[in-house]
Structure 1
Amino acid sequence: MAEAADIQGISHSPARRWLRRTASVILGAPLVATLLAGPAVPGAQADEASKAPSGSSTVDVTLDSLAPSAPVKGDTLTVSGTLTNRSKETVTDARVDLRVGPRLFGRTSIDTAAERTGYVPGSDPAAIGGKYTLKIAKLPSGITQNFTLSVPVGKLGLDDAGVYQFGVSLSGQTSRVPYEQVLGIERTFLPWQQNESDSRTRITYLWPLIASAHLTAETGSDEQQTPVFADDDLAAELAPGGRLEQMVSLGRQLPVTWVIDPDLLAGVDAMTKSYRVRVGDTTIAGKNQVVAKQWLTQLESAVADDKVVALPFADPDLASLAHRGKNVSGSLSHLQNATEVASPTVETVLHVKPSTDFAWPVEGAIDPSIVDVATSAGAHNVIARSDSLQETGGLPYTPSAARPIGGGTTAVVADYRLSRAFEGDMSNAGNSTLAVQKFLATTLALNDQDTDDERSIVVAPQRMPTAAQAQSMARALHALDDERWTQPLDLVDAAEAKPDADATTRVPGTSQYPRKLRSQELPTQAFQDIKATQASLDSFRVILTQPERVVTPFGNAINRSMSTSWRGRPLEAQQYRDAVRTYLHGLTNEVQLISKSDVTLSGRSATIPVTVQNKLVQGVDHLVLRLKSDNATRLRLNDGSAVAEKPIRIAGGHSQSVKFDASANANGQVQVRAQLYTEDGTPYGEEMTFTVKVSEVTPTVLLVIAGGLLLLVLAGIRMYTHRKRANADGPSGGDGGEPEQPSDPTPDTGPESGEPSGTGEKVDR
């Protein structure tokens, strides 16, 4: 029947069609899966194999140490490092070789060699071989193995003085590649200068002591004004092994120029005494006085015979001021103040007189506006960098750092390659070794450049090097101790050195300022916040009897709000500014008017008391309390005007009640406003308003009241007289006479006298 139906074109029912399709899918699914999965497996395996390390990237070779860094004849060069098999196969029949390449000429060739990765036959030199090879039978997958090789310098084949490429390679074979090949290589540089060079490059190395802000504007109410720190992180940097401790202990042995933020000295000096640390909503006593004292003692000893350059207090961000802040009135005055307090701070703490004639924009990037701001506070030298003030004259050598850029200003241009040599993770021994060797190679290449002029090169590293970065910098500088091709020079002398007449002196335009650095600048709102805080401080200081207790900590905090250390930390910067403003607002509110309830005034005149409270520790003065009636027709004050004023002077922790005379002319309610002002007319604090209800008594009412009082008096007199008469008409004495009746009239004459009457006196006859 089904066949007949098919022949006749009769269609199946929907249920039957669904069953047939479902069965087809179920039966065909395994076949489809097999077909799809079959060719996919080899493809996946091929992709995985292609991603596996191969060739000279099979084994990762690192150089953890190379000593000596700048060998001389007779030395033995010792190289240590690690080998890590990154492939999935075991390396067999391996050996570690040393390779010394041909001499490199110029800084560009050094940069090119440093960027090369992998082994290139024909370009990379042959191995030294012989007994200066380390054999390794097997290096399993994922395993790391240490190695050490030593070779006399005389076996390296070094000829003329200069920079040579130096490499360590591992050769071996794997099951997939069963023949010997180079499976890993690491390159570095070997400076070779047997004797002192005929001319030596003078190197100025800046050694920065700068830290982020830790001190707050808050101080204790005690006589010493105990400082309050936002945290105790500074103590960790000062402790043995900490970043700042390493900077001092290493720097004291180096020929460097110390570049110091005076705010750091002020903070550490505050830690040597009693201090508090904020924890949540409270503070606890700080306990790191010994650490702070030891660090300051070591620093004072370290800088005693060295040149010290003091940056403006708290290291203000010059680029942010130039690009965002100078259009906000008053911003540049903070830079002036920060510069003025720099030298006294350093002299007080370290007992040395620093130079304050240098400005250091972030990463040495400058434009005309930055130069203008940098020199506005009196600096005549701006520390720039050669990737900002770039050479355009095609000089075949690196010119001296000093460049006159007009207006009596000198740009001290640091070499950007040397300045950035120790950025990155220097806690990795391999990174540190490569950085040290490249630094030394670059300085030797500089000295070998074709010029007869004696040059001075400045190195301006990152502002806040880590402990590991500082250790790497120190290793590199110690390698130059014998002064074979360099000699040290301090920053002041470098700025005064004779400039190269052919060097570029044109300051790049504002549009050429690096976009990345511009994105890290403080926003315009930051300077508006600072302006508002300064305005509040100015209003507050004039009423204080001891303004220095407030002006100094808040002035320093405002300078910290502009610090370069806030770059890359916009949220923390905003929180710091908010904390300063909030604390100042809280102090200003300690001097306030006490809220007053409505006053009812009965009669034509009365006094209105207003209370001013001072909860500060110190007294306040130079304040005026002004009372103003909104309706002078109904209520007048003091001398009959709508406004009355009285001076305010209150001791710390006290209140004062000030009384104003008031006179009413009509009934009703009057709004009265009370406001404190400074003597120059600036409002201080919040205005207080209250209502005076006037109930005036009219003349008619007074007449009625007076008439009533008169009637009461007359009634009292009548009652008194009546009682007196009643007493007089009572029983007489014991003479037996008849008693006088109450109705009898009182005699209107007295008894006759025998004396002569006086003149003008009326006498009865």
Structure 2
Amino acid sequence: MTRAGSRRTLLSLVAVMLAVLTSLGISPGTGTPIAGAEPTGSGSGQTSGPKFLKLSLDSVTPTAITSNSDPYFVVSGTVTNIGDRPVDDVSVRIQRGGPVTSPSALRTTLRQDQASYDITGEFQDVADQLTAGQRKQFSVSVALHSGTELPGGVSSLDITAPGVYPLLLNVNGQPAYGGQARLDDARFLLPVLGVPGSADPKHGPGQPTPPAVDGPPVATTLLWPLADRPRLVAGQPGAPDAQALLTDDDLAASLAQGGRLDQLLSALESVVKPDSTRDRSLINAVCLAIDPDLLITVSDMTRDYRVLASPSDPEGPTRPGSGGRAAKAWLERLRALAPGMCVTALPFAQVDPNALAAAGDVTLADRALNAPADLIDSLLTVKSVRGVAIPDAGTIDTEGATLFAHHGFTTTVLADNAVAPLDGRSNLLAAKTPPSTPPATPATPGSTPEPGTPDMVTLADVVVPPATGTTTQPAPAAPHAATFDSWAATALAAIGSNPPTPAFTPDKARYDVTVDSRAARLQDALGAVAWTALNPQPGRPRTALLVPPQQWGANRDEASAVLGQLDLQLRNNLATPRSLTELLAQQPDPQPYTLDYLDRAADDAVPAHFAEPVHQQGQRITQLMSALVDVPQQELSPRAFLTPLRDDLIRVLSLTDRRAGGGAADTNAQRRLDQTTKTMDNLYGSVTVLPPGGVYTLASEQSPLLLVARNDLPVAIRVRFKIDAPAETSITDIGEQQLPAKGNRSFQIPTEVSDSRNLTIPIGLSTPDGVPLGNAVSVSVRSNAYGQVLAIMTASACALLLLLVGRRLWHRFRGQSDPADEEFDAGAVRESKQDRRTRKRDKKRQEAR
């Protein structure tokens, strides 16, 4: 047999084997049955099997259906070949399941098997073939319900009543070496506020079905968060005309056109601006919730600021920031917007109230909780809503709730599953629904009504003692909790890029939402927002508090869609606006409730080991603050100088980035703590006594000790000298003294030394409360006095002199010569005569010459 013939025979055998494998549904080389391929969508919950196609939802038009809508809606998407082989005969179809009948089903229905979506449309071709890496966009027109005849290519979902419906897009295809199979799906919710007329073009439009809901419209309040992660570098005290230093310049991009914060503000501007076509109803339902740390940072950015070249190196090189113009424009827009609507302050830097309570620093807690309202009012020229605390996690423990109550907060905004009836059961069903009243919305077979939580409850287990600390006054009333819909909040959190899963989301409803497209997640949120309005439930109030996450990732279109959904509900009489002030004024439910601190929140909380060092540094700041002096002509006040360091300690206890997992949040917190500690060490070391150098010699035993104290702080400070005087010295305490900012001052310390030896005297400075400042110095002192020895010698010499003088006077008064003078006088006379004769002889000789 020739070589060519052998080759043809081999190829024939290979072809036969491929045919057999294909008929069995087995992929050559892998041994994997194509028929067992699982979709990559989130709903299946499957990750095994080969992946060939990825189906992504791009848009739903319109996002919600009303009785005035067209009888059709359009679903657009993209199919991408993510495998390693071509896929033929790619087609899609729309399917739906039954309407959502319970709040939890808003989440769990999106994980059901595709068989639960039993109302199916017709398959529509997308592409004859998609090669590896190729993608194809498509649009599917869908009729809500069918008339006598539907146009070609239009499927009907048989939706005849308002509700929130789960929909599924199913993509089929035939991968190479395999058979036709379902390869992926995408799930989403469609809110139907009203059903439009018939879709049959021959018989004309039928009668639309408006929303028909038993009970009043849902009183709705929407918080609109504006917050960001902490950006200011730690350890930078206040200084006149100082440049702010940021860890990175990401905030500049967020504030600029197209950035996250720009788009959130822009969406709100479209509602609040005077040229808006909407009335005030929607505006009255929305309240801005602003993080003061964000406003402080943006305000600092309006002036020249700098950015670390490496965020992990706080002491490394820096570069100029680029967001000054964007920060100024964004802040001006916010200042123009805020006075026309409700505004409230979030806790500073998304601080963890439980960790703040554990730190045990009252002044630090006041800055984190009470100061934000004043900061917001000052920077935006508004009067914010007071007395309400909005913790980032949506759940707190008893210590955190007590901390809020101690600082004057009468209401805390919590997830509805973060509280529980005090006696372990809910009496809402009996209290709000008479036994003879049937449920407004029939439950599906096998479903049971879920217990509801009142929108305002009393936290009976939070005991607040009287402010005076005495028992003669009655304790204040127990604080309240305003509860928000945890299911709607979970869906709102999933909007945008890098969506978090909140701590209050139950485990049964947790899954990786990033496998869904942004459009699908937006639809889920809109469905969750509409569900309460469309489904009155026994035991659940006709109210809704909607709370997106504080660092919400929605873009302008997504945020506008949420506002548009709420506006649709208001205009269709399904909702009515309720301001935050009205919510806080509500009477709580008579049933007492207790806090139920959620396990997930405890896992995401700030670790306990940060509490003690934060407390220590907070105390050091307070002690230094009490020593500083506010001088009128001084450029910088003590508060302005040290408050940035308090803010750094609050940022150490921030919940930012903790839900993302990993150790980045702990690393950033420790870095902030280290920088703040180092700065405090430097500040305390900036006030000290200058060493005199050499030995200090006193002119006498009571000469003053001359000392010079130095203050390198930009504010004046009160100090005391701390001198450990040895036993041989007596040094007078000159009391409290003041050192000028950035200056020296000389002091004379009255000193008495009773020893002529060299003495070593330790001298230091402290605050008036005794906290040491700077480093103590040792001064060597020597006195020129001789002390007791000198006094004895002087006294002895004086006594001898007096004795000799007295002896001479005694002899003179008696007319006697002093015996001591006799020999002296005779000799002196002889010497005098001889001297005169010698002088006369010398004179005569000179004259003779």
Give TM class, smaller chain: 0.7 to 0.9
User: TM-score, normalization: structure 1?
Assistant: 0.75
Q: CA deviation at 1:594?
A: 0.9
SS of 1:387's equivalent in the other structure is coil
Amino acid at match of 2:356: L
- Cα distance change of structure 1 residues 457 and 731 upon mapping to structure 2, 3 Å threshold: same
Paired residues of 2:166 and 2:189 also in contact (CA < 8 A): yes
Deviations 1:405-449 (A, max 9, x none): 343422111111111114458347952222222223334432313
Query: What is the root-mean-square deviation of aligned Cα atoms in Å?
Result: 4.2
Distance in 1 of aligned mates of 2:97 and 2:783: 104
SS of 2:621's equivalent in the other structure is helix
Paired residues of 2:221 and 2:578 also in contact (CA < 8 A): yes
Q: CA deviation at 1:266?
A: 2.4
- Cα distance change of structure 1 residues 671 and 267 upon mapping to structure 2, 3 Å threshold: same
Match of 1:578 among 667, 674, 678: 674
- Cα distance change of structure 1 residues 227 and 443 upon mapping to structure 2, 3 Å threshold: closer
- Cα distance change of structure 1 residues 520 and 729 upon mapping to structure 2, 3 Å threshold: same
Q: CA deviation at 1:307?
A: 0.8
Matched, 1:491 2:580: yes
Paired residues of 1:64 and 1:430 also in contact (CA < 8 A): no
Q: Which position in structure 1 is the counterpart of 2:74?
A: 78
SS of 2:55's equivalent in the other structure is strand
Distance in 2 of aligned mates of 1:346 and 1:83: 47
Paired residues of 2:623 and 2:771 also in contact (CA < 8 A): no
Matched, 1:592 2:688: yes
SS of 2:329's equivalent in the other structure is helix
Q: CA deviation at 1:570?
A: 1.9
Larger Rg: 1
Q: Which position in structure 1 is the counterpart of 2:705?
A: 608
After superposing the two structures, state which structure 1 stretch, 378-387 or 526-535, moved more: 526-535
Superposed counterparts of 1:235-634, under 5 Å: 235-253=252-270, 255=282, 256-277=286-307, 280-281=315-316, 286=321, 288-322=323-357, 324-326=358-360, 331-390=361-420, 392-393=425-426, 395=429, 396=449, 398-406=452-460, 407-424=477-494, 426-427=496-497, 430-447=516-533, 448-451=535-538, 455-468=542-555, 471-483=557-569, 484=572, 485-497=574-586, 499=588, 505-508=592-595, 514-518=601-605, 520=607, 523-538=610-625, 540-542=627-629, 546=634, 549-563=637-651, 564-565=654-655, 568=658, 569-596=665-692, 597-600=694-697, 604-620=701-717, 622-632=718-728
What percent of counterpart residues are identical? 20
Distance in 2 of aligned mates of 1:96 and 1:512: 41
Matched, 1:213 2:230: yes
Paired residues of 1:666 and 1:695 also in contact (CA < 8 A): no
Amino acid at match of 2:325: V
Paired residues of 1:97 and 1:127 also in contact (CA < 8 A): yes
Q: Which position in structure 2 is the counterpart of 1:193?
A: 193
SS of 1:686's equivalent in the other structure is strand
Higher relative contact order (CA 8 A, sep 6+): 2
Paired residues of 1:310 and 1:343 also in contact (CA < 8 A): yes
- Cα distance change of structure 1 residues 69 and 726 upon mapping to structure 2, 3 Å threshold: farther
Q: Which position in structure 2 is the counterpart of 1:38?
A: none
Distance in 2 of aligned mates of 1:726 and 1:148: 151
- Cα distance change of structure 1 residues 76 and 594 upon mapping to structure 2, 3 Å threshold: same
Paired residues of 2:126 and 2:136 also in contact (CA < 8 A): no
Matched, 1:691 2:780: yes
Q: CA deviation at 1:378?
A: 0.4
Matched, 1:68 2:69: no
SS of 2:595's equivalent in the other structure is coil
Q: Which position in structure 2 is the counterpart of 1:149?
A: 140
Deviations 1:621-678 (A, max 9, x none): x43335442122xxx3xxxx35543664444443233334544434433221222244
Amino acid at match of 1:74: D
Q: CA deviation at 1:114?
A: 0.4
Deviations 1:466-523 (A, max 9, x none): 354x75344233233222333443322223345555xx64213569684413465673
Paired residues of 1:100 and 1:165 also in contact (CA < 8 A): yes
Superposed counterparts of 1:22-33, under 5 Å: none
Q: Which position in structure 1 is the counterpart of 2:828?
A: none
Paired residues of 1:319 and 1:362 also in contact (CA < 8 A): no
User: TM-score, normalization: structure 2?
Assistant: 0.69
Q: CA deviation at 1:317?
A: 2.0
- Cα distance change of structure 1 residues 190 and 682 upon mapping to structure 2, 3 Å threshold: closer
Paired residues of 2:219 and 2:575 also in contact (CA < 8 A): yes
- Cα distance change of structure 1 residues 683 and 77 upon mapping to structure 2, 3 Å threshold: same
Q: Which position in structure 2 is the counterpart of 1:676?
A: 765
Q: CA deviation at 1:204?
A: 1.9
Q: Which position in structure 2 is the counterpart of 1:37?
A: none
- Cα distance change of structure 1 residues 211 and 511 upon mapping to structure 2, 3 Å threshold: closer
Paired residues of 2:458 and 2:593 also in contact (CA < 8 A): no
Distance in 1 of aligned mates of 2:715 and 2:453: 59
Q: Which position in structure 2 is the counterpart of 1:30?
A: none
Paired residues of 1:101 and 1:165 also in contact (CA < 8 A): yes
Amino acid at match of 2:593: R
Paired residues of 1:219 and 1:225 also in contact (CA < 8 A): no
Deviations 1:669-702 (A, max 9, x none): 3221222244455443332222334565444776
Q: CA deviation at 1:567?
A: 6.0
Q: Which position in structure 1 is the counterpart of 2:128?
A: 137
Matched, 1:96 2:92: yes
- Cα distance change of structure 1 residues 673 and 451 upon mapping to structure 2, 3 Å threshold: same
Q: CA deviation at 1:257?
A: 1.4
SS of 1:293's equivalent in the other structure is helix
Q: CA deviation at 1:102?
A: 4.2
Amino acid at match of 1:380: T
SS of 1:353's equivalent in the other structure is coil
Q: Which segments of 5 or more consecutive residues in structure 2 lack a partner in the other structure?
A: 1-23, 40-51, 147-155, 195-209, 272-281, 310-314, 430-448, 461-476, 498-513, 659-664, 802-831
After superposing the two structures, state which structure 1 stretch, 422-431 or 62-71, moved more: 422-431
- Cα distance change of structure 1 residues 424 and 47 upon mapping to structure 2, 3 Å threshold: farther
Paired residues of 2:395 and 2:597 also in contact (CA < 8 A): no
- Cα distance change of structure 1 residues 612 and 434 upon mapping to structure 2, 3 Å threshold: same
Paired residues of 1:526 and 1:574 also in contact (CA < 8 A): no
Q: CA deviation at 1:95?
A: 2.6
Distance in 2 of aligned mates of 1:282 and 1:727: 97
Q: Which position in structure 2 is the counterpart of 1:163?
A: 164
SS of 1:507's equivalent in the other structure is strand
Paired residues of 2:87 and 2:174 also in contact (CA < 8 A): yes
Amino acid at match of 1:91: V
Distance in 1 of aligned mates of 2:35 and 2:336: 53
Q: Which position in structure 1 is the counterpart of 2:31?
A: 49
Paired residues of 1:367 and 1:507 also in contact (CA < 8 A): no
Paired residues of 1:541 and 1:547 also in contact (CA < 8 A): no
